[in-house]
Amino acid sequence: MSSKIVSSYSSVALIALFGGGLMFNTSLVYPQSAAVGVSTNVTNKSSSGASNMGSSSSTARFSKSDEKLVVQLAQANISEINIAKLAEEKSKNDQVKTLAKKMMDDHSKALDELKQLAQMKGMTLLTETDRQQKLVENRLTALSGEKFDKQYVEQIAERARKGEHKLLLQVGAKAQDMELKNYATKTLAVIESQQQLVKDTSRSIESGSHGKSDSGASSGGGMREKSRPAYGQ
């Protein structure tokens, strides 16, 4: 009888011992799982934060100084488009028309890209040129024929040297927004690619003018020769 009691007591002790061990082991496992869960959440949050930072940098508003540069770029593009339209309407020179079409295409695309960038930054662009650019447009409107062609090409060359080219370099150097800097670099390459066509068109106009003046001089000389009285009269 006593041996049975001892045996049963031993069994209960063993069960309690192993049961306690199992309970102890279980309590060790769950905290580890909880720790992994926390670190995963932190990782996800940090990843999400990095993603949000990346998106916010692309949609952050322009600084005041950058906004001024964007306005100047928009005005320069609009002015180039306006005088290119004039050239397509007024010029009779095929090379001038070809140049005007390229200018219109290039600057229309540049303006569209600038508008998209500005919209992304919460900025609405004006669609007018400044006073100085309007004066240039008015002067060109009053011209026609070769005078118009020559002035139009000279205006493009002048703007490339001192106007838009200089402005784009300034934007690339001083803009705070990285996407605006990238826009300036890309557009500057487009402006530089136009210059060979500008030079070729200018040469074509000059050679045409010289050809006509030479022809006029020889024609005038012939007339003077005929009207010269004979020697001795």
What string of DSSP letters covers 101-150?
HHHHHHHHHHHHHHHHHHHHTT-PPP----HHHHHHHHHHHT--HHHHHH
**Is pLDDT at 138 greater than 90 in this prediction?**
yes
Domain ranges in the chain are 1-59, 61-224
Closest CA to 102 of 169, 217, 191: 191
Angstrom distance (rounded) from CA 233 to CA 231:
6
24 φ, ψ (degrees, to nearest 5): -65, -45
Check whether 141 has a pLDDT greater than 70.
yes
Q: Is the pTM of this model over 0.75?
A: no
d(CA 164, CA 156): 10
- CA atoms of 52 and 40, how far apart (whole Å): 18
Please list, in sequence order, all residues whose beta carbon lies within 8 angstroms of the beta carbon of residue 114, skipping any fewer than 6 positions away. 70, 73, 74, 77, 125, 183
In the prediction, which pLDDT does 210 show?
Answer: 56
Q: What's the token pair of residue 178?
A: 């990285």
Give Cβ neighbours of residue 188 (< 8 Å, ≥ 6 apart).
Answer: 165, 168, 169, 172
Q: Is the CB of residue 73 less than 8 Å from the CB of residue 114?
A: yes
C-alpha count within 13 angstroms, C-beta hemisphere, residue 189 = 5
Question: 41-64 pLDDT, tens per residue?
Answer: 433 444 444 334 344 457 789 999
Write phi, then psi, for 227 (nearest 5 degrees): -80, -5
Q: What's the whole-number mean pLDDT along residues 94-118? A: 96
pLDDT tens digits for range 155-181: 888 887 778 889 999 999 999 999 999
Domain 61-224 in CATH: superfamily?
Ferritin, core subunit, four-helix bundle (1.20.1260.10)
> What per-residue confidence (pLDDT) applies to 37?
37
